Amino acid sequence: MFAKTIIDSDAFLEMSQSAQLLYFHLAMRADDDGFVNKPNAVMRTVGCHSADAQMLVDRKFIIPFESGIVVIKHWKIHNYIQKDRYHETKYTGEKSSLQVEESGEYSLPVYSMDTECIQHVSKMDTQVRLGKVRLELGKGSTGEDRGVGETTADKPPEAEPTPYSEIQSLYLSLCPSFPRIKTLSANRKQAIHARWVQYGKSLDTFRTLFEKSEASAFLKGANSRNWSADFDWMIKDGNMAKILEGKYDSKPVASQGNATPDFSDPNSYSDQEEDLPEWARTSQN
């Protein structure tokens, strides 16, 4: 079972669909205390990537251990198992290092957090041991599994910050036809961070997103409802993927008696109308 207070939260829903998928599969394979002993195998089986695992760690939905085992942080909120059916986890060492908050969440004691560091999956060209806790979820930049070695480090590498301001500036400069954004709310930052991690932390990907959006007549209102996209719509998981894949690229239609293509004819975008927001599809002009 899954508690709606967790899976309907903004923190969960703003994650990529692949990260959400990985979370559900890990939880389905957890033992009666929420521990998963083969997270790498689960990740490979469902076709997810190291960025998805890292997002679950960053958003504090899973806690990793030195042994490679992970635990579902909100397991005791999701599930109540009757004593006559409960079987304690085999991973008692990892379990003993956790404490259970009043809310039912697992957490690492404050004293251990100073010396036990959770490593970013995206940094795992080799497995770096950082204090007592390390995460063994990772693939190479090509998406292939890599061998896991172990070295020591005095301190964990600093997390690469998400360039919120740069992405906002790119949008404002490359998308003059769309509504301006003046502030970056917490929800916007969550969505930006999710796409930033999902697409390999590449500003060029966001540049392409905004350039293709500005070049799209459909996204600028050439549709039967005169609907136009905006920043928040563009950076939603499914919408961003479709823009980058060319789903909304302008389609040239030859005007009668004129060999010059007409990119503004709404009738040339009928196959894209299905992607209009619900309110735009049902409203009357």
Judgement on whether residues 111 and 169 belong to the same structural domain of the protein:
no
Q: Which amino acid is at 58?
A: D
**3-state DSSP helix/strand/coil percent for the chain, to nearest 5?**
40, 5, 55
> Is 282 domain-assigned?
no
Judgement on whether residues 135 and 22 belong to the same structural domain of the protein:
yes
For residue 77, give Cα distances in angstroms to 72, 81, 242.
10, 11, 35
Q: Which of 152, 182, 206 is the last residue of a domain?
A: 152
Q: Which of 96, 120, 152 is the last residue of a domain?
A: 152
Q: What does the pLDDT read at residue 96? A: 86
Judgement on whether residues 79 and 173 belong to the same structural domain of the protein:
no
- The residues, ordered by sequence, that sit 6+ positions from 141 with a Cβ below 8 Å of its Cβ are none
Residue ranges for the chain with pLDDT beneath 50: 111-157, 259-267, 283-285
Q: Which of 129, 152, 175 is the last residue of a domain?
A: 152
> Is 100 domain-assigned?
yes
Judgement on whether residues 222 and 190 belong to the same structural domain of the protein:
yes
Residue 243 tokens read as 């823009």
Q: What does the pLDDT read at residue 135? A: 45
> Is 279 domain-assigned?
no
Question: Which structural domain, as residue segments, surrounds residue 211?
Answer: 164-251+262-271
Judgement on whether residues 62 and 85 belong to the same structural domain of the protein:
yes
Q: Is 261 helix (H, G, I), strand (E, B) or coil?
A: strand
Q: What does the pLDDT read at residue 211? A: 95
Judgement on whether residues 118 and 29 belong to the same structural domain of the protein:
yes
Residue 63 tokens read as 């806690």
Is-contact 209 234, C-beta < 8 A? yes
> Is 283 domain-assigned?
no
Judgement on whether residues 12 and 148 belong to the same structural domain of the protein:
yes
Judgement on whether residues 92 and 193 belong to the same structural domain of the protein:
no
Q: What does the pLDDT read at residue 42? A: 93
The domain tally of the chain equals 2
Residue 101 tokens read as 């908050």
How many C-beta neighbours within 10 Å does residue 31 have? Answer: 15
Judgement on whether residues 224 and 129 belong to the same structural domain of the protein:
no
The pTM score is: 0.43
Judgement on whether residues 136 and 226 belong to the same structural domain of the protein:
no
Q: What does the pLDDT read at residue 222? A: 86
Q: What does the pLDDT read at residue 1? A: 74
> Is 202 domain-assigned?
yes
> Is 122 domain-assigned?
yes
> Is 115 domain-assigned?
yes
Distance CA 283, CA 262 (A): 26
Q: Comparing C-alpha atoms, which of 194, 206, 218 is closest to residue 272?
A: 218
> Is 204 domain-assigned?
yes
Judgement on whether residues 172 and 45 belong to the same structural domain of the protein:
no
Look at the chain and count its residues: 285
H runs (alpha helix) in the chain: 4-7, 10-13, 17-28, 39-45, 50-58, 75-78, 92-96, 110-113, 164-174, 186-198, 203-214, 231-234, 237-244, 278-282
Judgement on whether residues 137 and 194 belong to the same structural domain of the protein:
no
